[in-house]
Structure 1
Amino acid sequence: MVSSENSQPANAIEALERLGRLSLRDLSMEELLQTVADLTKTVMPGHTEVSVSLLVKDSPSTVASTGQLATDLDESQYERGHGPCLHAARTGELTEIGDTRTDSRWPDYMPRAAEHGALSSLSVPLVIDDDEQLAGGLNIYAREPHAFDEDSRTVATRFAPYAAVAAGNLYAYRSAVDRADTLQTALETRGVIDQAKGILMVRHRLTADQAFQVLARMSMKTNRKLRAVADDLVHTGELPLR
């Protein structure tokens, strides 16, 4: 999976707004995941490559990538059964490697990353579906040590909910062979989130990204799926308080 993003956004706000304007109904999940990875790459400092990992019942795979470096390092961690991207997905913790040449965690992985030219990395956990044992990570590999500052960490965490929604729906599509109703559920999820965004945009004069972030924050605050939060808003006109 290679990046196809041609026109680069001027900054993170523009990139997030571009994501916010995308219709979840019209894009395939693979296209949305690739767009998240592509746009994340354009706004991160230094020369980075980005991937999205999906962890299904502790079985990992890479579902989007901007380049071979990210894919290779993801797979290196899968082979070993541990590493920063798997740690983020399993624990829900933001996981940063400042310098792969000196970090003492995962000692069999760090030299491999350094040999590939990735001297620092940031893995943002994706909250998808605990019931399905489904998690993930937005992984950013940089060629410079200590590439990430507080601003870049904040930006990365704002991209993560888009990847989480897309990854969750991608899993639903792939499971549709075994559960026929899952495909319809995935289609409905994409539509109801778009509707909820529209309500918030009109009611509170929000941008598309701001509306999505409101839904994402409420999902995390109430420990409910983003789709359920959006559905409540569409059908009751109110966001859930708990």
Structure 2
Amino acid sequence: MIPPDDDAVAVQPAFDELGRLSFAEHSLESLLQRVTALAAGVLPGEPVISLTILTDRGPSTVASSGELALRLDEEQYRLDSGPCLAAASTGQTSEIVDTRAPSDWPDFAPHAAAAGCGSVISFPLPVREKVAGALNVYARRFTVSDRRTRALVSRFADYAVVPVSNMYLYESAVERADHLATALDSRAVIDQAKGMLMERFTLTPDQAFRALTRVSMQTNTKVRDIAERFVATGDVPGLPTRHGVAGTGAVADGC
């Protein structure tokens, strides 16, 4: 155990590393794993650490330093009750000083005790840009009532939230950009197919689009895929061609 006066010196390298974590060197998964590994290395008692993140789809463990932490997180998700969920959803530190004693989570605490976890502290990640979560510490060799332990967990969470939330924001922005690019590409090829149909067969925009969607429903194929094939070949079964409607009759029929 590190003497209290030496805490700042002992843990500062980990905090410095948190400040240096960059998007260029890490994926979201590797960054989160590094955060949990650093936490396990600087917090006393050889704990196992996890990170819980809350989204519209519910809670999930995005990283853990050991199987025990993952199992205990998932048990709380199953029960819909426990310190990690309470900390992430309320923004208040939640703890079980002794899993063998009565607690606010009578269903979860015995499960944690049976798994070999003596105490739990879940510290909320400060909310940044709608990223809500908790840093969960599961320990066998110390109690969370220790003020020094609480201070270390609090300080680590304050440092950890910066790279974690920034990486989430970055990943979300990239995902949105990819979706936008895909949507724009789809619109472009559909508009091109519509234009070809309108020019060749004197159709209105609405008639041309209905022709594409009709074939899409008949063949259970995305409109984008129908449009891409038509633009590339000029011949899709069910769509008008230079010689009429492939397989369905006159151009006006079904449009």
Q: How high is the TM-score relative to the length of structure 1?
A: 0.63
Partner amino acid, structure 1, of 2:83: P
Superposed, 1:106-145 pairs within 5 Å as 106-129=105-128, 132=130, 134-144=131-141
Amino acid at match of 1:63: V
Which residue does 1:28 correspond to in 2? Answer: 27
2:125 is paired with a residue whose SS is strand
Residue identity matched to 2:143: H
Larger deviation: 151-160 or 117-126? 151-160
Which one has the largest radius of gyration? 2
Q: Distance in 2 between matches of 1:145 and 1:33?
A: 24
- Alpha-carbon distance, 1:52 to partner: 0.5
Q: How many residues align?
A: 172
1:109: Cα distance to partner? 0.6
RMSD across aligned positions (CA): 2.6
User: Which is worse superposed, 121-130 or 97-106?
Assistant: 121-130
Deviation of the 1:177 alpha carbon? 7.5
Q: What residue is the counterpart of 1:40 in the other structure?
A: 39
CA distances 1:141-193 after superposition (whole Å, capped 9, x unpaired): 0013525522222221222134333443454466458622899xxxxxxxxxx
Residues 45-86 of structure 1, C-alpha deviations (whole Å, 9 max, x = no match): 213100001111370000110000000000000001110000
Q: SS of the counterpart of 1:179?
A: helix
> Is residue 101 of structure 1 aligned with residue 124 of structure 2?
no
* Residue 152, structure 1, aligned to residue 152, structure 2: no
Q: Contact (CA 8 Å) 1:30, 1:64: kept in 2 or not?
A: yes
CA contact (8 A) 2:28 2:168 kept: no
| Runs (5+) with no aligned partner, structure 2 | 1-8, 181-255
State how far apart, in whole Å, the 1-side matches of 2:95 and 2:23 are.
30
What amino acid does structure 1 have at the position aligned with 2:123?
A: V
Alignment correspondent of 1:66: 65
Whether the aligned pair in 2 keeps the contact of 1:77 and 1:86 (CA below 8 Å) is yes
Alpha-carbon distance in structure 2 between the residues aligned to 1:30 and 1:135: 17
> Cα distance 1:180–1:23, how it changes in 2: closer, same or farther (>3 A)?
closer
Cα–Cα, structure 1 residues 59 and 126, in superposed 2: closer, same or farther, change >3 Å? same
Asked whether the equivalents of residues 88 and 137 of structure 1 are also in contact (C-alpha less than 8 Å), the reply is yes
Structure 1, gaps ≥5 residues long: 1-9, 184-242
How far apart are residue 106 of structure 1 and its match?
A: 1.1
Note if contact 1:49-1:69 (Cα within 8 Å) is conserved in structure 2.
yes
Partner-residue secondary structure (3-state), 1:107:
coil
The one-letter amino acid of 2:162's match is: V
Distance 2:172 2:152 in 1: 31
Structure 2 match to 1:164: 161
Greater relative CO, 1 or 2 (CA 8 Å, sep 6+): 1
